[in-house]
Structure 1
Amino acid sequence: MVVGEAPGPELHVLPLGATVHRILVTGGDGVRRDVCLGLPGPAEQLASTDYIGGTIGRYANRIAGGRFVLDGEDVPVATHDRGNHLHGGPDGFDRRTWDVVAHDAGRVRLRLVSPDGDQGFPGELTAEAQFSVTADAVELELSAVTTRPTVVNLTSHAYFNLAGPGVIDDHLLEVPAARYTPVDETGIPLGDHAPVAGTPFDLREPTRIGDVVRAAHPQLVRARGVDHNFVVDGAGWRRMAALVAPRTATRMEVWSDQPGLQVYTGNFLDGATTSRGGGLLRQGDGIALEPQLAPDSPNRAGWPSAVLRPGETYRARMAWQFHASG
């Protein structure tokens, strides 16, 4: 499905995974290009373990040991990442075919019903993803309701490269966050959030991505790059990141209402997957900027809660806004 048209952004969405398949924008250099990584078709999408473009759920990021306590009861959920739950489990929302419930020139709305007990999560969850396109942005509104108390954390795992095929080393990344979340060797938080000051995670000014991922910091070595949550300053709807490709004079801003932003520099893209354009996707070919709750939030008292109860509606908003850069 296609939403929007030139000269503004043009979004291509797949029902499989409610996937961002393409985003065509006109760069500051006047060239119109696709700024997202994508796969050739459904077979490649189902074979991939890189979540390329997918809508992630029921719980994005990791849950330690695949267990959490909800209302005094131990809840085990599916694990497939070094003993932890990751991105909804081995059969997450990115692997399901969503129903298209509305589609016109400016928007598309998709719905998925996840049954009670799906991947271990309690409650039948009805999730919706509505993509819309404005003159300069692609917006995504995620929502969900449940029949039993459960946990929810939805996001998009779109990978961006504002210069077309190739590595993103020369892109500049800015994230207005004074704290980030250090993790162990399996991606689980070591404790509380930590200051970015004095570390390569200080992205409060535009910073070249290649310099960050090659810094000799134990957290970067352990994760093979950046795969960390940033506690973005402020609350509510705000700018969470800015990404600039100097070569194409193209700037993208990420806006959201979520507490954190998971920054993932494509560390495990290993050349095993062929892109939509026919090349092999390798480490650093794209960056995912995922607004969401912090990893392992169901097990972290005092962090923003992931709990959703009957009668409540989960909502998360995000937008990718495109401009010419100076």
Structure 2
Amino acid sequence: MGDAAPWAAPPVTLDPAAFRGEIDGQPVGLWTLTGEGGVTVSLCNYGARIVQILAPDRSGRLGDVVLGYDSLAAIQGGQPSMGAFIGRFANRIANGRFTLDGRTHTLPQNAGPHHLHGGVKGSRFRVFDTERLSASAVRMRLTYADDEEGYPGELRSSLLYRLDGDSLRLEYEATTDRPTVATFTGHAFFNLAGGGSILGHRVTANAHFFLPIGPGGIPTGEIRSVEGTPFDFTHPEAFGTRIDGDNHQLHLADGYDHTLVIAKEASAFGLVARVEDPGSGRVLEVMSTEPAAQLYSGNALTGITPRDLGKGGVAFMRRGGFCIEPQGFPDAPNQPHFPSTTRHPGVPYTGVIAYRFTTSA
């Protein structure tokens, strides 16, 4: 129990100079948060992305528990969602269009025929204005222009990254001057072992229903019980136990890439999922105010250079990271029975995502 996994090398020390630069006339840099809970977080304001999280294992050894890159150039050549804060609409919108108040809005089709993660100039590709508030907190701001990527309304957003004890909190707010649609999420790729496969990580999800998908990852509209399916994580189960089983939904996504419906009151802050790495003893609890969460098992991490070349020159392996992305329902603007993601002037869209790091015995 006291021996580190063979792949859990000491964390890479990030060089702030490697993240300095300018994109679209905006300065880019690295911000590191420290607090009292033994966790350290490094952030880049290009995409408001989490680059590194150092968390102790059961023996007190620090390990890097998120995948990421060690320079701005590597970020630009890498997986665009890696660690990013996603807006203005997380996940997919079918066929790149939706109708709001009788008007059809056309969006970029950047995932086959569909729209993904805000489009070709979503927040993943934008520089956030950043203000350090304290050693443990920074605030990042981004304004989405009216008709940008085809969305109606100017949407002004604010994101607070804050270390609170052993938790990293993402507190966000957005206001619009016209009716629009929006839902945000955090897209960190976690590996609680600090390397290797995540298939041995044990997952417990606060979800009794999930959204089946069709081709392209678009929800079919059905809200299906997890009972008797590989999506039943109501009791602890390893990612790898059923991931390669004979199941049509898993075949469509080459693993897990599905939305879980979180069992809590709408807008209430509550538990989304708990993940434990038995080897290191590290435990991640994800909490949120959002009604759903995308569960992703890193199926598209394939070691391709330079896209999948991470910190310290270590390639990302297939299923070497997992994502739990609290968010609104994907394709909600086209599926009226899903909880609404429509935002109105004078009514701020607010939310919280928290990642709590502890250890098991």
Where on the TM-score scale, by shorter chain, does this alignment land: which range?
A: over 0.9
Cα deviations by residue, 1:98-148 (Å, 9 ceiling, x for unpaired): 001343112110001111111111111111110100221111011111121
Q: Determine which of 299, 312, 320 is the counterpart of 1:267.
A: 299
- Per the alignment, residue 230 of structure 2 pairs with 200
- Per the alignment, residue 62 of structure 1 pairs with 92
The reply to whether residue 35 of structure 1 matches residue 65 of structure 2 is yes
Q: Determine which of 131, 137, 159 is the counterpart of 1:129.
A: 159
The amino acid across from 2:83 in the alignment is G
Shift of 1:283: 1.6
Check conservation: 2:298, 2:318, Cα contact below 8 A: yes
Alignment partners' CA distance in 2, 1:107 and 1:123? 29
Cα deviations by residue, 1:163-214 (Å, 9 ceiling, x for unpaired): 0111101100111211000001200111221010001100101101111322
Alignment partner of 1:213: what SS?
coil
In structure 2, the CA distance between the partners of 1:142 and 1:212, relative to structure 1 (3 Å rule), is: farther
Shift of 1:5: 4.0
In structure 2, the CA distance between the partners of 1:7 and 1:144, relative to structure 1 (3 Å rule), is: closer
- List runs of 5+ in structure 1 lacking aligned partners: none
- Per the alignment, residue 335 of structure 2 pairs with 300
TM-score by length of 1: 0.97
Q: Within 5 A, what are the aligned runs for 1:241-320?
A: 241-272=273-304, 273-320=308-355
Equivalent residue pairs, number:
326
Shift of 1:7: 5.0
Shift of 1:97: 0.6
Alignment partners' CA distance in 2, 1:83 and 1:148? 27
- Per the alignment, residue 21 of structure 1 pairs with 51
Task: Provide the identity percentage.
Answer: 36
The reply to whether residue 159 of structure 1 matches residue 159 of structure 2 is no
TM-score by length of 2: 0.88
Alignment partners' CA distance in 2, 1:132 and 1:27? 21
Alignment partner of 1:281: what SS?
coil
Alignment partner of 2:272: what SS?
strand
Check conservation: 2:292, 2:328, Cα contact below 8 A: yes
Alignment partners' CA distance in 1, 2:354 and 2:138? 15
Check conservation: 1:266, 1:285, Cα contact below 8 A: yes
Q: State the superposition RMSD in angstroms.
A: 1.2
The reply to whether residue 9 of structure 1 matches residue 39 of structure 2 is yes
Q: Determine which of 66, 88, 92 is the counterpart of 2:118.
A: 88
The amino acid across from 1:271 in the alignment is G
Alignment partners' CA distance in 2, 1:121 and 1:48? 26
Shift of 1:268: 0.9
Alignment partners' CA distance in 1, 2:312 and 2:113? 34
Runs of 4 or more consecutive aligned structure 1 residues displaced over 3 Å after TM superposition: none
Alignment partner of 1:163: what SS?
coil
Shift of 1:3: 1.1
Cα deviations by residue, 1:14-36 (Å, 9 ceiling, x for unpaired): 11100111111111132111111
Check conservation: 1:9, 1:134, Cα contact below 8 A: no
Shift of 1:6: 6.2
The amino acid across from 1:274 in the alignment is L
Shift of 1:316: 1.4
Check conservation: 1:50, 1:269, Cα contact below 8 A: no
Shift of 1:80: 0.8
Q: Determine which of 203, 214, 217 is the counterpart of 2:244.
A: 214
